[in-house]
Structure formats: structure tokens, C-alpha cells
Amino acid sequence: MKLFYTTNSPYARIARVAVIEAGIARSVEQIPALNRRDDNPVLDFSPVGRVPTLVADGMVITETRHVVEFIAAVSGCESLLGPRADNWTAIEQEGQILGFLDAVAFRVREDRRGELKSNELIDVEAKRCDRCLKYLDTEASGGKLSAFPVFRSVALASALDLMELHCFSPLWKTRFEALAAWFSEISSRVSMQETRPVLGMDKDRVINDNRI
């Protein structure tokens, strides 16, 4: 299996964590993508050209949720998946978490546009993030955030880590203590440590700016 990723993509990170947690790291070749470039190796397999992209058994699986479903199926690690089709409470929470993840990712990309960036759009995403953090803190206080490494908990941890890396909400840990406590426990897992986003030079000596 080949898994295309970029070091700082929170979506690809979910797939990379799933590979580690499912115990199949040795059967998956992880290949750095060159996002948004004409020589991106992902384009040899998928016209969409995004990460994560998993190539396996003659198939090209895209969209993070599907990639994790495939990893769960081949590894037999069904616990990665989280909600079943009829668990609407969990599905409801997963939707909110993925919306939060999209907001953080959008803000990183908009910030990167330098002078072209729209402060109005940044403000929209900052407010969206803040509302989501409040909701997620309430979920954490009620013990409703799922244990790791269920898909939606990995997605949430990846979003929070990227938000931290970019200092989007410097005081969030003091404002949202229950969520911060949940995140702190999860952050110590090996799968999270090994897939941390970085600015500068990453462990594969690939230069990173804040691209995702």
C-alpha cells in the first residue's frame, strides 16, 4: 500500500495515525506529496491530487473517512471507525468536529496568502473556531468525546494541534479546560507524537513552510 501525505496536513495525519494505531505501518509506504504542483506524484494516481490518498489493491482511495475505513478493513481494527450508521449522536458530533477541522485548515491556507489574504474571511473562521471550541469543551466536560483512536477523536486532536502550531487561539487551554485535558492525554500517544506537524525542517528533512 502507498499512502501519500504532507507533513502538516491534518487530514493526512488522521490516516497516518490510523496506520500506526492499526499496527500496519510496515505494510504502508508513506510518500510525501507535492501539493498543488504539476509534478505532484499523487497526480499519477488521482486527478484530485490531494492528501491523504491511499493506493492499494489496484484502487485509489481518497477522502480521509474512506481511507480510514479501508485501513480498518484491511487491518481488522474496526474500532478505528467510531459511529455505526445508526449512531446519530456520534455522527452528529463527528460532523461538528470535521467542520472545526475544515475551519482550521481553511484559516491556515488563507493566512498563507500574505498580502492577498482576506481579513474578513480570517475573522469568519476565527469566530467559527471559537464557537466550535465552546461546543467541544461542553462535550469534553460531559465526558462525551470519544476515546482515542476513533476516527473523530483523531480528527479533533489533529485539528487542535494544527490550531496550536499556528497560535490561532493562544488562550484556548485556559478558556476550555476540559477540552485541553482531553487533548493533553491524547497528545502523549506514540501515533500522535510521530505525526506531529512542524514548521521548518521535518524529520524526513523535507522543508516545510506552513503548507498543509
Ligand X SMILES: N[C@@H](CCC(=O)N[C@@H](CS)C(=O)NCC(=O)O)C(=O)O
The residues binding ligand X (CB under 6 A) are 9, 11, 35-36, 49-52, 63-64, 105, 212
CB of 116 to ligand X, least distance (A): 17
- What residue number has its CB nearest to ligand X? 50
| Pick 140 or 165: Cβ nearer ligand X | 165
| Pick 63 or 78: Cβ nearer ligand X | 63
Q: What is the 3-state secondary structure (H, E, C) of the chain?
A: CEEEECCCCHHHHHHHHHHHHCCCHHHCEEEECCCCCCCCHHHHCCCCCCCCEEEECCEEEECHHHHHHHHHHHHCCHHHCCCCCCCHHHHHHHHHHHHHHHHHHHHHHHHCCHHHCCHHHHHHHHHHHHHHHHHHHHHHHCCCCCCCCCHHHHHHHHHHHHHHHCCCCCCHHHHCHHHHHHHHHHHCCHHHHCCCCCCEECCCCCEECCCC
| Pick 22 or 140: Cβ nearer ligand X | 22
CB of 8 to ligand X, least distance (A): 8
| Pick 15 or 179: Cβ nearer ligand X | 15
CB of 19 to ligand X, least distance (A): 15
| Pick 109 or 144: Cβ nearer ligand X | 109
CB of 167 to ligand X, least distance (A): 19
CB of 142 to ligand X, least distance (A): 27
> How many residues make up the chain in this entry?
212
